[in-house]
Amino acid sequence: MFSIVFVTPEIPGNTGNVIRLAAVTGASLHLVEPLGFDLSDTKLRRAGLDYHDLANVAIHPDTEALWDDLGPGRRVFAFTTSGTRSFADVSYRPGDVLMFGRESVGLPDDVSRDERVTDRLRIPMLPSRRSLNLANSASIAVYEAWRQNGYAGAR
């Protein structure tokens, strides 16, 4: 299945919602520290409480540890408002990595431009809008990738 990566997320409710997303789609969730909240945060637990034990969640101290865990040969798609290619123009494959940055500033340039990143993608939206909610962006991307793969494993 797919991997979702949140690099230094700040809002516990977004991460809790994506724990639920990972659980219901079979995706794995990778969180890169530092996190802007404690994992026992009430908002995180409330959003993902029923699903935390059903989700595959890994926490990495930094991006180098993330890269090591993901291993070589994975396609990594960095979602960023500065991406030039639409996320809908990609033919996703199982094992692809969908990477997102923090809510306030997105992915750091050194991460989104890392040589291990396959492409920088954007989710279309109206001009003069800053960005989508992080959990919503991850949901849009995961469901498009899963749809393209016939919702493998779904009932």
pLDDT for res 128: 87
pTM (predicted TM-score): 0.94
pLDDT tens profile 99-131: 999 999 999 999 999 999 999 999 999 998 888
Q: Which domains does the chain have, with CATH numbers?
A: 3-148 (3.40.1280.10)
pLDDT for res 59: 95
Q: Does 127 sit behind a cis peptide bond, omega within 30 degrees of 0 on the bond before it?
A: no
pLDDT tens profile 37-71: 887 757 666 655 567 778 899 999 999 999 999 99
Does 59 belong to an annotated binding site? no
Please write down the long-range contacts of 144-153, taking CB distance under 8 Å and 24 or more positions apart.
Answer: 144/87, 144/88, 144/92, 145/2, 145/92, 145/96, 145/98, 146/2, 146/25, 146/27, 148/91, 148/92, 149/92, 149/93, 149/94, 152/1, 152/26, 152/94, 153/1, 153/26
Strand segments, DSSP code E, in 54-100 are 56-60, 76-79, 85-86, 97-100
Does 131 belong to an annotated binding site? yes
Sorting pLDDT into bands at 50, 70 and 90, what band is 11?
very high
pLDDT at 143 over 90: yes
pLDDT for res 57: 92
pLDDT for res 49: 58
